[in-house]
Structure 1
Amino acid sequence: MSQEYDIAETLDVKGASCPMPVVKTKSAADDLAEGEVLEVLATDSGSMSDIEGWAKGTDGVELLDQVEDGDLYKHYVQKTA
């Protein structure tokens, strides 16, 4: 069970494949205020490593958690700057 986050926005990228989950996550994260959390819902298993890699290489965002729920992958990204 994942930790509960105060979700500012939910981004639904179900059905999208690489690189679209990361592209859309970056765009949505750019629109967040500092401290806000974006929940990303994806069905592409590659999004687990793709979003993790993007967050590690991107200043101003932190990947808080990733949850695999059957065929659904949930990512929680916080804007830090």
Structure 2
Amino acid sequence: MMPHEQKTIYDLRGLKCPLPVLKTRKRMESLAPGALIEIETTDPLAVIDIPHFCNEDGHRLEEATPVAGGHRFLIRKKA
């Protein structure tokens, strides 16, 4: 991530599988190619589901970070 880059922040805490992936996919439809989205989730399965979603849809998982009660993911939309 470049210092001047904007990112969309999407709070998906409290949602259970498959909602974090479904809502992320839907939200990313409105983003420009190459845009960044940061999602935060408390679903323990997200550590499996989000990287799989990125791989399947061609997005790049820039970062996956454990946070209190869950995980934060930084995803770059495919160009």
Same fold by TM-score greater than 0.5: yes
What does residue 11 of structure 2 align with?
12
* Residue from 55, 62, 71 that aligns with 1:73: 71
Give unpaired runs (5+ residues) of structure 1. Answer: none
SS of 1:26 mapped into structure 2: helix
Count of aligned pairs between the two proteins: 78
Deviation >6 Å, runs of 4+: none
User: Where do residues 45-60 of structure 1 align in structure 2 (5 Å cutoff)?
Assistant: 45-59=44-58
* SS of equivalent residue, structure 2 residue 57: coil
Give the CA deviation at 1:38: 0.2
Structure-1 residue corresponding to 2:41: 42
Gaps of 5+ in 2: none
Report the aligned-residue RMSD.
Answer: 1.7
The AA in structure 1 aligned to 2:73 is: H
Counterpart of 1:23 in structure 2 is 22
Residues 29 and 51 (structure 1), Cα distance of their counterparts in 2 relative to 1, 3 Å cut: same
- Cα shift at 1:12: 0.8
What TM-score do the two structures reach when normalised by structure 1? 0.85
| Aligned-partner Cα distance in 2 for 1:4–1:32 | 18
Give 1:51's aligned amino acid: I
